[in-house]
Chain A
Amino acid sequence: MKPRTRRFAWIAAGLGILGIAAALVLSAFQSNLVFFFTPSQIAANESPQGRPFRVGGLVETGSLAREPDSLTVRFRVTDTAKTIPVSYTGLLPDLFKEGKGVVAQGTLGPDGVFHASEVLAKHDENYMPPEAKAAVDQAHQGMTMQSLHQDTKAGR
């Protein structure tokens, strides 16, 4: 092979490898996206069945219940318009509190209960997790027409 053809072959091989890498990256990206839904969207059956997604909102006051002799907890997440029951087995994060914002990742069971594999609260006391805030804000937007109450939102 002439040096020139050889160089061309190497460049082609390099580009091929880059192309394959890009394809792998994009397919991994596609299959690992986790979408976010509000309780209202879930109530309207917009969320997927079987595929994990995130739900966010406020932990409904008075809804937290523990099962005896296990680490399973049940609580309800609300965006102030709709609520969705959640069950989770494990330790809850420090910032998990009734009336505060929460984001849970998991799957929706056929019984309508959201089985969380992860409960996230990577935020501080001053603000809500962005997803939780978005859920509440969206629900409020839906309700402004009725404008029944203008309660102060938790956090900012």
Chain B
Amino acid sequence: MIPELGHFALIVALLTALVQGILPMLGAAIREPRLMALARPAARAQFVLVALAFACLAWSFVANDFSVQNVATNSNSELPLHYRVAATWGSHEGSLLLWTLMLGGWSFAVTLFSKNLPAPMLARVISVMGLVSAGFLLFLLFTSNPFERLLPAAAEGRDLNPLLQDPGMVFHPPLLYMGYVGFSVAFSFAIAALLGGRLDATWARWSRPWTIVAWAFLTVGIALGSGWAYYTLGWGGWWFWDPVENASFMPWLTGTALIHSLAVTEKRGAFKSWTVLLAIIAFSLSLLGTFLVRSGVLTSVHAFATDPARGVFILAFLAIVIGGSLALFAYRAGKVGLGGTFALVSRASMLLANNVLLIVALASVLLGTLYPLFLDALNLGKISVGPPYFDTVFYPLMAPAAFLMGVGPLARWTRTPLPELAARLRWALGVAAATALVAPLLLGRWSLLVAFGLFLAFWIFATTVVNLRQRLLASPRRGVLGKLRANSASYYGMVLAHLGVGVFIIGVTLVKGYEVEKDVRLDVGESVALGGYDFKFVGVTPQPGPNYRALTGKVEVRKDGRLIETLAPEKRIYNASGQSMTIAAIDTGLLGDRYVSLGEPVSADATNIHGPWGVRIYLKPFVDWIWMGAFLMALGGFIAVSDRRYRLALKSRAARVFGDAVGHAGAD
């Protein structure tokens, strides 16, 4: 009964989404307050209905209802409870339902925090979100119903993919989707502004906090995914430029460009059309990413041919959303206007340069991700584009962006004389150059790439300090605390996020420059020396787990003959699927990780687990700084949105700008 209830809730949610998507939009067009007033209740009802459906699916997983196809394929009665809950979004159908739930949640949030939005604006924003949601609900109901029954019911489920049975994977998809779907708010604001024909600093101030929150969630989501790959895939990499990763990285690059261009639109009223276009692109790439990962195109483009309903629907939906919004942009952008001008050397021009670099980087990632799919779809052969392509293209593009990141915040919004700027940057340049020359020597071996990476990181640190010092000295208030308080939360958010980028660059540079990797054959009792440590393989012992059998290895790590720790890498074989999985043992430290994972028994008799094993030993200096940097960036984003000016009543200002419209709509 419960799955049918969920199914029914989804159908009603679709009808509600259609009401939410059509009537308020119509109301805004003909200025009918009663139709516009439908926006809020419809969006809230839709959220409750989708949440109900989601709860029904989660209940089916928790209760091991193997008469539901989705549960039978992705769960198992031996699976621990928390992974049964996480299995709800482990499948194609479940993750699309999660996506729709997130969209409902964001719409709900918009209805809560929009007291000061003029009614036509709110009606249009909520309508656009309703239409997107209707598209997803249609897709769920017609091609990917998560409540499909399996008759007769399976006696036992096929189990969740062991790779996903991990705490990182429990949180990664929801956070990632929070980010993906969050860009729908910026998108809806952009479409609403294009439809309304008015776009100004107030509009930017409204959509800015939504965009920053979405971006921060996306940052955390990507970082969690990368950390998960690092410790579960067993080969110690943190980024593979895999299409699945690129799918989440492309919206992030666009989102990063968008939050910076929104800043210019809010402060200077410039880059209006560009900002709107970025908002459209960011959400389009979120949609593209979701479908790339979830439709099975990456597994085989020809999956489209075997299941034409899904493929055709996806292509049609993408074409309508992306094509429609771009057409609207082309038609209305002229009315919105380009916005104010800006000086050649100013903060605005540098933000523009950074935007261009980010978008070029995005284009190069897009090319490397989609080109193999196009060739394959046209039957022109199978190719792959490896990490070397992305590395050679991406780092040179991001280096000038990182450099500009130091200069931009120090420049004035208006024209900044170059000599004045140079005088401010002298000191920072000295610090960064000195670090680049000396630090690699202290770490071991000097190399140009390490020096360059450290230069960029310390350039960001030093310019941030210069900037902060200037801001504090310029403040008329007394005392350090008073001076600190004189700056806004959004300023500190920016500072923290930029420092995060510096921390991230240090992590990437040092791990690429100094990591040591070794695959060795070790007999029981044998040891190997690596980077000043001795790793001794003591052997493996069988160990039972809740839904798997494990072989736990024991590796003693010694430095100068003294035992410093014992690592326990595991090899697991899952009962239900028979799939094996490597669990690395990692000693995490601020200065780097020691990483040990088990390969397989390598004696002539492959079943002899007490003979020699293939063992993988890595030293990863400063690798955790990569994720620390990402978390700092996200934290900066969250601090920035706590800024008072986003909470202040904008009513008076809104009334002035949208005066005519506000007068009509008294509802809410």
Contact = CB atoms under 8 A, between A and B. Distances in A.
Interface of A: 6-7, 10, 14, 18, 21-22, 24-25, 28-29, 32-36, 54, 66, 68-71, 89-95, 122-125, 127, 130-131, 133-134
A33 B383 contact: yes
B545 interface: no
Interface in B156-214: 161, 163
Given A91-B599, A95-B579, A71 B300 contact: no
Given A25-B364, A127-B299, A130-B299, A91 B614 contact: yes
Contact of B604 (A7, A21, A35, A68): A68
Given A32-B388, A33-B385, A94-B234, A25 B393 contact: yes
Contact of A36 (B356, B368, B384): B384
Nearest to B352: A14
Contact of B521 (A21, A70, A92, A133): A70
B92 to A, nearest CB: 12
B367 A29 contact: yes
B602 A71 contact: yes
A29 B382 contact: no
Interface of B: 161, 163, 234, 242, 299-300, 344, 356, 360, 363-364, 367-368, 371, 381-386, 388-389, 392-393, 396-397, 519-521, 577-582, 599-600, 602, 604, 606, 614, 616
A100 to B, nearest CB: 11
Nearest to A34: B384
A133 B299 CA distance: 10
A94 B581 contact: yes
Contacts of B385: 29, 32-34
A124 B163 contact: yes
A124 B74 CA distance: 13
B614 A124 contact: no
A63 to B, nearest CB: 13
A7 to B, nearest CB: 8
A91 B599 CA distance: 6
A71 B396 contact: no
Contacts of A18: 356, 360
A92 B600 contact: yes
Nearest to B396: A24
A8 B606 CA distance: 71
A35 B384 CA distance: 6
A133 B300 contact: yes
Nearest to A67: B602
A68 to B, nearest CB: 7
A130 B581 CA distance: 21
A28 B520 CA distance: 34
Nearest to A27: B392
Nearest to B353: A14
Contacts of A35: 381-383
Among B163, B356, B392, residue most surrounded by chain A Cβ atoms (within 10 Å)? B392
Nearest to B368: A29
Contacts of A29: 364, 367-368, 371, 385, 389, 393
Given A34-B386, A68-B604, A122-B242, 16 more contacts: A28-B389, A29-B367, A29-B393, A32-B385, A32-B386, A32-B392, A33-B389, A34-B383, A34-B385, A36-B383, A71-B519, A89-B519, A90-B519, A92-B600, A94-B234, A125-B577
Contacts of A21: 360, 397
A66 B364 CA distance: 41
B45 to A, nearest CB: 38
A34 B375 CA distance: 13
Listed from nearest, the 6 A-B pairs whose CB atoms lie closest are: A91-B599, A32-B389, A36-B382, A28-B392, A130-B300, A91-B614
B579 A124 contact: yes
Nearest to B616: A91
Nearest to B299: A130
Nearest to B582: A94
Contacts of B520: 71
Given A32-B389, A32-B392, A131 B382 contact: yes
Nearest to A6: B344
A25 B300 CA distance: 26
A122 B606 CA distance: 23
B300 A91 contact: no
A116 to B, nearest CB: 14
A59 B577 CA distance: 20
Contact of B614 (A14, A34, A71, A95): A71
Contacts of A122: 242
Nearest to A89: B519
Contact of A92 (B242, B371, B388, B599): B599
A24 B393 contact: yes
A25 B390 CA distance: 9
Contacts of A125: 577-579
B535 to A, nearest CB: 15
Given A34-B383, A71-B614, A134-B382, A66 B602 contact: yes
A6 B371 CA distance: 39
A68 B381 CA distance: 38
Given A21-B360, A29-B389, A34-B386, A94 B381 contact: no
Contact of A10 (B299, B300, B344, B384): B344
Nearest to A65: B604
A93 B381 CA distance: 26
B230 to A, nearest CB: 15
Contacts of A70: 521
A34 B368 CA distance: 12
Nearest to B161: A124
A94 B600 CA distance: 9
B364 A69 contact: no
A129 to B, nearest CB: 9
Contacts of A94: 234, 579-582
A32 B371 CA distance: 13
Interface centre among A70, A92, A130 (most CB of B within 10 A): A130
Contacts of B363: 25
B79 to A, nearest CB: 16
Contacts of B364: 25, 29
Contacts of A34: 383-386
7 contacts: A18-B360, A25-B363, A28-B388, A32-B388, A33-B384, A71-B614, A90-B614
